[in-house]
């Protein structure tokens, strides 16, 4: 029943955020934003409702770092998504207003322009409406988006910035679209792995990282069946054999209401994985070593775990090589990029 009530509330919010008011003002700065697309990456597909402009991105960045979006004006999006951690966090569960804790570990925001569904259970279908969830969640920012709009419109400089970006004042539609615009620019693809694979730098990977790469893409380990493509994720949902010690979080089942989806979560990208500890949906595994050990022993034997989760038989040397490869996916330039700083 609790899941049904939460689902109904989420659907109502999604419908609200998806509706674009008809009236717009003509004086809009529609200078297009130019993506910096790394080698080996496709050009992001922008939604027709929210073409990227310089003005929208600048506004979204301001909102991202502004605690005005939280009930007590102490929490911003950046509080849980910090650039030094590839816009993830370094704690299992990030505290919201008044120190309240939710259920899930804060994910990295890198490469959201390529993600097809959002949240670890896939409950949000597009980035343009995702921000409404944390803003209104009682354990995160705990603020009605209508109140947030009133606060913003009371500030002349903010009001002018919204008019310049969207042709109208702040509202549920423009707040979420501005935040989405900024997040779409957070593209990360300049790791040592990318330099070796796409930029012709033959010395970018160490011998251990090359051995780890071969293991990662091998049929024996089959890591790349889930962590596939340029973003190292297939965006699918599966049960990876974790013990469900967070009883209120049943994963994909909260959205599908299908009991076979208990413990299924969206496959995360492995890009910048060395910066985003702790790991898993509730931050239950503290290190990359713990993650590799989990898969090496074949999970905990959850009755619904995916058949691909099985003992791997890695030696200590192979385990170290695999971790070295995962570390090669770190994009140092991304976490130091001034374009994403306040």
Residues 249-274 have pLDDT tens digits of 899 999 999 999 999 999 999 999 99
In a domain, 341, yes or no: no
252: three-class secondary structure by DSSP: coil
Greater pLDDT, 248 or 156:
156
Do residues 303 and 223 share a domain?
yes
Residue 76: give its domain's CATH number: 1.10.760.10
Which of these three, 158, 188, 218, is where a domain ends? 188
In a domain, 340, yes or no: no
Helix axes 54-64, 156-166, angle to 10 degrees: 140
Contacts by 18-27 with C-beta closer than 8 Å and gap 24+?
Answer: 18/128, 18/129, 19/173, 20/49, 20/173, 21/168, 21/171, 21/173, 23/168, 24/166, 24/167, 24/168, 25/163, 25/167, 25/168, 26/167, 27/163, 27/164, 27/167
Which of these three, 188, 218, 237, is where a domain ends? 188
In a domain, 79, yes or no: yes
What are the tens digits of pLDDT across the range 144-201? 999 999 999 999 999 999 999 999 999 999 999 999 999 999 999 999 999 999 999 9
Q: Where are the beta strands (DSSP E) in the chain?
A: 237-238, 265-266
Do residues 289 and 176 share a domain?
no
CA gap 333, 299 in Å, rounded: 34
**pLDDT band of 245, cuts 50, 70, 90:** low
Do residues 174 and 26 share a domain?
yes
Least confident of 20-24, 114-118, 283-287: 20-24
Structure tokens, 155: 């500030």
Do residues 200 and 230 share a domain?
yes
pLDDT at residue 5, as a whole number: 46
Which of these three, 166, 188, 210, is where a domain ends? 188
Do residues 105 and 45 share a domain?
yes
Residue span of the structural domain in which 283 resides: 192-335
pLDDT at residue 18, as a whole number: 57
pLDDT at residue 41, as a whole number: 97
Do residues 160 and 211 share a domain?
no
Phi and psi at 219, nearest 5°, equal -65, -30
Say if residue 231 is exposed, middle or buried (CB neighbours under 10 Å; 0-12, 13-18, 19+). Answer: buried
Q: Which residues of 241-262 are buried (b: 16+ CB within 10 A; e: fewer)?
A: bbebebeebbbbbbbbeeeebb
pLDDT at residue 83, as a whole number: 98
What are the tens digits of pLDDT across the range 294-330? 999 999 988 999 999 999 999 999 999 999 999 999 9
SS (H, E, C) 262-307: CCEEECCCCCCHHHCCCECCCCCECCHHHHHHHHHECCCCCCCCCC
Do residues 204 and 327 share a domain?
yes
pTM recorded for the entire structure: 0.91
CA gap 72, 331 in Å, rounded: 34
Do residues 181 and 222 share a domain?
no
């Amino acid at each position: 029943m609790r899941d049904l009530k939460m689902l109904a509330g989420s659907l109502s919010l999604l419908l609200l955020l998806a509706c674009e008011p008809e009236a717009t003002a003509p004086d809009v700065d529609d200078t297009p934003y130019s993506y910096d697309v790394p080698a080996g990456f496709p050009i992001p597909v922008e939604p027709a409702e929210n073409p990227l402009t310089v003005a929208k991105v600048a506004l979204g960045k301001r909102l991202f770092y502004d605690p005005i979006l939280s009930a007590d004006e102490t929490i911003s999006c950046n509080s849980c998504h910090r650039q030094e951690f590839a816009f993830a966090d370094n704690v299992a569960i990030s505290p919201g207003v008044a120190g309240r804790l939710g259920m899930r570990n804060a994910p990295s925001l890198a490469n959201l322009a390529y993600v097809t569904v959002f949240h670890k259970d896939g409950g949000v279908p597009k980035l343009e409406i995702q921000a409404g969830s944390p803003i209104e969640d009682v354990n995160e920012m705990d603020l009605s988006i209508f109140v947030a709009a009133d606060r913003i419109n009371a500030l002349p400089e903010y009001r002018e910035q919204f008019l310049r970006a969207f042709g109208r004042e702040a509202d549920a539609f423009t707040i979420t679209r501005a935040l989405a615009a900024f997040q779409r620019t957070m593209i990360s693809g300049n790791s040592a792995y990318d330099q070796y694979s796409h930029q012709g730098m033959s010395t970018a990977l160490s011998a251990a990282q090359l051995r780890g790469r071969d293991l990662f893409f091998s049929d024996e380990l089959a890591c790349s069946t889930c962590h596939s493509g340029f973003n190292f994720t297939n965006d699918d949902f599966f049960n990876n054999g974790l013990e469900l010690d967070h009883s209120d979080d049943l994963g994909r089942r909260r959205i599908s209401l299908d009991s076979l989806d208990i413990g299924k979560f969206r496959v995360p990208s492995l890009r910048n994985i060395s910066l985003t500890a702790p790991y898993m949906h509730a931050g239950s595994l503290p290190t990359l070593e713990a993650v590799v050990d989990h898969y090496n022993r074949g999970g905990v034997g959850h009755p619904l775990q995916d058949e691909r989760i099985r003992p791997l038989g890695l030696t200590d040397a192979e385990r170290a090589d695999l971790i070295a490869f995962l570390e090669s996916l770190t994009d140092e330039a991304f976490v130091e990029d001034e374009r994403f700083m306040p």
